[in-house]
Structure 1
Amino acid sequence: MIKIMKITALIFFTFQILSCASQSTVIEGHLETVVTKPMDYYLYYPEDYEVQTTKTYGILLFLHGSGSIPKKGQEKMPPPDALIDGTEYPFLILVPQLQEPTKMWNTEAVMQLLDTVVAQNRIDEKKIYLTGLSRGGAAAWDLAIAFPEKFAALAVVCGMAPTPYAHWMDKNLPIKVFHGKNDTIIPYAESEEMVHRLKSLGYNVSLTSYEHYGHAIWDVVYKDPKLYKWFKNQKKM
């Protein structure tokens, strides 16, 4: 009987030890992260920038899509045709370069670049504009949501839309959205649902649909001078 009791006690303590040994552990930690990212860019200056030395200007942040990411064997993307074809714009245009074919835009790095360029030039900080196409359009939505105090106007071209977070944007932000109805890369419904959501919340937003176009609508959108006149007329309240 005593032997049986000893065996039972041994089994009990063995289970207790095993139970203690298999318990999960949760610790609280803290780490200061530092992320650095090199970023090439192009910066367009209006023709009179060097002459009108007391004048301040607006600036348009333009985020390109994956088609402009450097191909194999290229070190960097060439400057966009729109910046070197002789077209004159009434404000500076900042074009960062996304280098990684399989990655999205690093919006924190983009904002650091934008803030640096603004600080180094004669920029009216109430006239900072934002636009992007495709992958850059998705990033433009993200920036408008994450930095609602920053931008005076937003134009998104065929970009993925974070519809559930639409209400995080500045309620006074003027927004133009453009999308091809036959887009098979990023469905037209992305923009349609986002615009519907924004309108239901009282935002100043419009959707321009291209009935017979697919994904590649950017040449049509960005070659329209009315878009730049619209940007120029916007000012942060």
Structure 2
Amino acid sequence: MALHIVAVLAVSLLVVFQAKGQSEAFEKEIYINQANDSLRYRILFPEGYDGSQAYPLVMFLHGAGERGSDNEKQLTHGSALFLENRQNHPAIVVFPQCPEDKYWIDISIRDELFGEGDPDFNQSIQKPSEQLTLVNELVEKLISEENVDTDRVYIMGLSMGGFGTFETLGRYPEKYAAAIAICGGGNLDLAENYADNTSIWITHGAQDDVVPVVLSQRIYKKLQELDSDVTYTEFPDANHNAWDPTFEMPELLPWLFSKTLK
């Protein structure tokens, strides 16, 4: 019995140390713009970061459960994926954190996407949310200050971040070579803005009881109609945590890092 308890404690400590190592590998930063608005983020640089070499840039948008001001929770899902593949896919990887009372997309857009507004899931709001504006400003800052391959800038996100991924593509087209949107949904009106130049992989759990799978199906159908380079994977047994099987796909990162801006 005592040996069992010791083994459990050892495993628990290992998990804690691994999490701490992941957290420390992503450096803590805060972006503050001229209007004094701020965005907390964590950033992972390639091992042996070489100032003479250009690297891909990945922006990762977390879900609603990871909002806050600790500059920590946003690493819960996805950070291990990039750490484990750091040598095979060296890149600058950024995890911004949305404040507790904010969203990556305007809340009225979310209402319409969920069917509480226009039944065609369309809307006509003319500008992005404050948080997406800050994310875009951060992308521009990193491009100007770090060694970023501007033909290989990527964005991905899950749940609320999946919505934010589509919204970012629509609001800032011709910037992202590829995107991965997990259990989210997209504004159909904005799809034509990025359909021609961004490769997209959409994933969703068929049993999702938080974000209806139809939201991914609709934007996938729309992008197909626009002849976009789009891939769709639906996991038959997955609920809302479609990120787990998504991160387990061995072809995911090779696909992402193979894409260049069209």
Task: Determine if the TM-score, normalized by the shorter chain, exceeds 0.5.
Answer: yes
Q: Deviations over 1:125-146 (max 9, x none)?
A: 1110010111111111011011
The DSSP-based 3-state class of the residue aligned with 2:218 is helix
Q: Deviations over 1:37-84 (max 9, x none)?
A: 2111011111131xx3311101111000012123xxx73324625536
In the other structure, the counterpart of 1:148 is 173
Q: Deviations over 1:156-208 (max 9, x none)?
A: 00112212332122413111000001111110000001111110111111110
Q: Which has the larger radius of gyration?
A: 1
In the other structure, the counterpart of 2:149 is 124
In the other structure, the counterpart of 2:72 is 77
Cα distance in 2 for partners of 1:83, 1:214 equals 21
Identity within the alignment, %? 24
**Closer/same/farther in 2, CA of residues 84 and 218 from structure 1, 3 Å limit:** closer
The DSSP-based 3-state class of the residue aligned with 2:39 is coil
CA contact (8 A) 2:74 2:97 kept: no
Moved more, 95-104 or 140-149: 95-104
Give the aligned residue type for 1:96: P
Cα distance in 1 for partners of 2:51, 2:138 equals 23
Give the aligned residue type for 1:61: M
Give the aligned residue type for 1:139: G
CA contact (8 A) 1:66 1:101 kept: no
In the other structure, the counterpart of 2:258 is 233
The number of residue pairs the alignment matches comes to 199
In the other structure, the counterpart of 1:3 is none
**Closer/same/farther in 2, CA of residues 107 and 218 from structure 1, 3 Å limit:** same
Alignment TM-score, normalising by the size of structure 2: 0.70
Query: Where in structure 1 are there 5+ consecutive unaligned residues?
Result: 1-33
- The structural deviation recorded for 1:102 is 4.9
- The structural deviation recorded for 1:35 is 5.2
CA contact (8 A) 1:149 1:170 kept: no
**Closer/same/farther in 2, CA of residues 95 and 203 from structure 1, 3 Å limit:** same
- The structural deviation recorded for 1:149 is 1.2
In the other structure, the counterpart of 2:58 is 60
- The structural deviation recorded for 1:108 is 0.8
Cα distance in 1 for partners of 2:237, 2:187 equals 25
What pairs up with 1:128-139 in 2 under 5 angstroms?
A: 128-139=153-164
In the other structure, the counterpart of 1:103 is 103
**Closer/same/farther in 2, CA of residues 146 and 55 from structure 1, 3 Å limit:** same
**Closer/same/farther in 2, CA of residues 201 and 36 from structure 1, 3 Å limit:** same
Cα distance in 2 for partners of 1:132, 1:175 equals 12
Query: 1:181 pairs with 182, 199, 206, which one?
Result: 206
CA contact (8 A) 2:46 2:92 kept: yes
Query: 1:207 pairs with 232, 243, 246, which one?
Result: 232
Give the aligned residue type for 2:92: L
**Closer/same/farther in 2, CA of residues 102 and 42 from structure 1, 3 Å limit:** closer
**Closer/same/farther in 2, CA of residues 151 and 102 from structure 1, 3 Å limit:** closer
Alignment TM-score, normalising by the size of structure 1: 0.77
CA contact (8 A) 1:141 1:162 kept: yes
In the other structure, the counterpart of 2:47 is 47
Give the aligned residue type for 2:63: G
**Closer/same/farther in 2, CA of residues 166 and 84 from structure 1, 3 Å limit:** closer
CA contact (8 A) 1:76 1:99 kept: no
CA contact (8 A) 2:66 2:74 kept: no
In the other structure, the counterpart of 2:94 is 94
After superposition, the CA RMSD in angstroms is: 2.0
